[in-house]
Amino acid sequence: MLYKSRIMPRELQIYQYLNLRVKLSGKERKHLFNLQKGYEGELQFDSLTATIRSDCLILNDLLLSNNRNIFQIDTLIILPDTVYLFEVKNFEGDYFYDSDRLYTQVPPNSEVNNPLIQLHRSESLLRQLLHNLGCKLTIQALIVFINPEFTLYQTPINKPFLLPGQINRFLQKVQSTSQKITNEHKTLANQLISLHIQDPPLYIPPSYQYHDLKKGNICRNCGSYEITVKGTKCICKSCGEKELSEDLIMRNVKELMLLFPEMIITTNTIFEWCDKVLPKRTIGRTLKRHMNCKGEHQWRHYEF
């Protein structure tokens, strides 16, 4: 049973928006690629855990703290007798493991961060946190290599690795349990959700300025700026995608608020952000319908 859904990380959303409005550096594009690939791997694992029909509670994307030590959990599954902690990796290509180190074969012998280090830290902090919450369930921590194009040579059999060909068999084993969860399990899940940190305190956003970003309406399907307004609809010249003007305006509002949280939302700010393509009357009417109007006349602005 899915108990906490996964949402796209704020950092990834910001990078995706910026990628369409400013030229990112090579380092920033690489970071965006890694963020996107990691998130796609997590979603792929979500689609597999969603098939579990045994009695369990699935919590995706937890950011927790214990004794001021922050740790992140990709997926947590609470079973009647065990708490499974999963660290999902979307690595692709040929790797090999040697002397507690992980290397890629292309380029040769290039060492990468060993995910076991992060897993052991998360497991230890989770164990301490559960102890503080009065939970005595056993914890099993595993690294899931989700990508079917991933190969790990010299895999130690005593390491908590789930390789692509092992994932389905493992989930079938999880599904074979006949025990039932209780209110105590749900209480634990609710406690963990209440402790979830919404905004990562250590997140450092990329540097960007309002005047550097390209203004205009972006097609939700192909990312093109070639959008024309016809009545209450907006049509992309590149791919033919149609969207209600109202929906397009609110997409722009949410994008602008994410990129510039301190910016005051007014009819004029959205008009300028949309590159003056959408009529002010349409923008004002949409903002009134979907947001709370504050102030009067020149001080009028909108908030959620």
Each domain of the chain, given as residue ranges in start order, spans 2-195, 216-303
Considering the domain 2-195 in this protein, what is its CATH number?
A: 3.40.91
pLDDT tens series, the chain, 304 aa: 999 999 999 999 999 999 999 999 999 999 999 999 999 999 999 999 999 999 999 999 999 999 999 999 999 999 999 999 999 999 999 999 998 999 998 888 899 999 999 999 999 999 999 999 999 999 999 999 999 999 999 998 999 999 999 999 999 998 888 889 999 999 999 999 999 998 877 667 788 999 999 999 999 999 999 999 998 999 999 999 999 999 999 999 999 999 999 999 999 999 999 999 999 999 999 999 999 999 988 889 999 9
Query: Cα–Cα distances in Å, from 206 out to 13, 214, 255?
Result: 12, 16, 15
- Sign of the four-CA dihedral 210, 215, 221, 223: negative
Partnered with residue 71 across adjacent β-strands are 64
Q: Determine the Cα–Cα distance for residues 219 and 238; give it in Å rounded to an integer.
A: 9
pLDDT tens column, 225-261: 999 999 899 999 999 999 999 999 999 999 999 999 9
User: CA nearest 140: which of 115, 174, 101?
Assistant: 174
CB 287 within 8 A of CB 253: yes
CB 236 within 8 A of CB 221: yes
- Report the topology of domain 216-303: Arc Repressor Mutant, subunit A (1.10.10)
Q: Hey, what are 68's tokens?
A: 């001021």
CB 286 within 8 A of CB 246: yes
DSSP 6-26: ----HHHHHHHHHHHHS---H
**Residue 202, pLDDT score:** 64
Query: What DSSP element (H or E) covers 151?
Result: strand 150-153
Partnered with residue 69 across adjacent β-strands are 66
CB 73 within 8 A of CB 64: yes
**Residue 296, pLDDT score:** 87
Partnered with residue 244 across adjacent β-strands are 233
CB 53 within 8 A of CB 2: no
Phi-psi region of 297 (alpha: psi -120 to 50; beta: other; left: phi over 0): left
Q: Determine the Cα–Cα distance for residues 191 and 176; give it in Å rounded to an integer.
A: 27
State the SS3 of 235-302.
EECCCCCEEEHHHHHHHHHHHHHHHCCCCCECHHHHHHHCCCCCCHHHHHHHHHHHCEEECCHHHCEE
Range 242-262 burial, b when 16+ CB lie within 10 A, else e: ebebbebbbebbebbeebbee
